Amino acid sequence: MGDLLKFDQHLFELINIHWSHPFFDAVLPMFREKLFWLPFYVFLLVYALVNLGRLRWLFVGLLILAVGLSDLTSSELIKKTVQRPRPCHEQTKIPDIHVLVPCGSGYSFTSSHASNHFAVAMFLMFSIFKRPQLLKWLLFLWAFTISYAQVYVGVHYPLDVLGGALVGISYGLLMAWVFDYLRMRIND
């Protein structure tokens, strides 16, 4: 476990310190903001209301449930159990850390940003946006970029993001399966 945590810190330092660039310093903090993505969330709601007919509220409800369960698992269960400090709170351990946003008072493992956005991406990828493949890759890239930004701005280690992504992927896939199952039952 010690070697894994050393590797995690080394990867954090690469991303946060050595791979930093003024362009990313300006852009990546915005990627973590909910309001930045508000047009995308409104688009999803309008898309569901216009295109999904009688499945619209099922879709919206399961998407909210995927994110809610993902957030609850990440924020309340895992973070409070593991209690890993955020890298931005460990500046004596990583003196050159590049903190670009307020550090936050919570714990680091798992990243709720990663968890929630991967839950959305996976639910969308496997419920209503099964094709085209390009859209699936764009959704994955969207969730990955938001997750990467957590490390880049100094508030999470890479393993925190990976752990959050796995939580989100699990709930997103589960709710997509429930949506498909209920859609078949409703359409019969």
Q: How many CB atoms are located within 10 Å of the residue 23 CB?
A: 8
pLDDT attached to residue 188: 64
pLDDT band at 97 (very low <50, low <70, confident <90, very high): very high
**Distance from C-alpha of 158 to C-alpha of 10, rounded to nearest angstrom:** 10
pLDDT in tens, 37-71: 999 889 888 988 898 888 989 999 999 999 999 99
Averaged over 18-43, what is the pLDDT? 92
User: Which region, left, alpha or beta, applies to residue 175 given φ > 0 means left and ψ of -120 to 50 means alpha?
Assistant: alpha
C-alpha dihedral sign at 27, 28, 30, 34? positive
Question: What's the whole-number average pLDDT of the chain?
Answer: 92
Is residue 147's pLDDT more than 70? Answer: yes
pTM value is 0.92
DSSP secondary structure letters along the chain: -HHHHHHHHHHHHIIIIIT--HHHHHHHHHHT-TGGGHHHHHHHHHHHHHHSGGGHHHHHHHHHHHHHHHHIIIIIIIHHHH-PPPGGG-TTTSTT----S---SS--SSPHHHHHHHHHHHHHHHHT--S-HHHHHHHHHHHHHHHHHHHHTTS--HHHHHHHHHHHHHHHHHHHHHHHHHHHHHH-
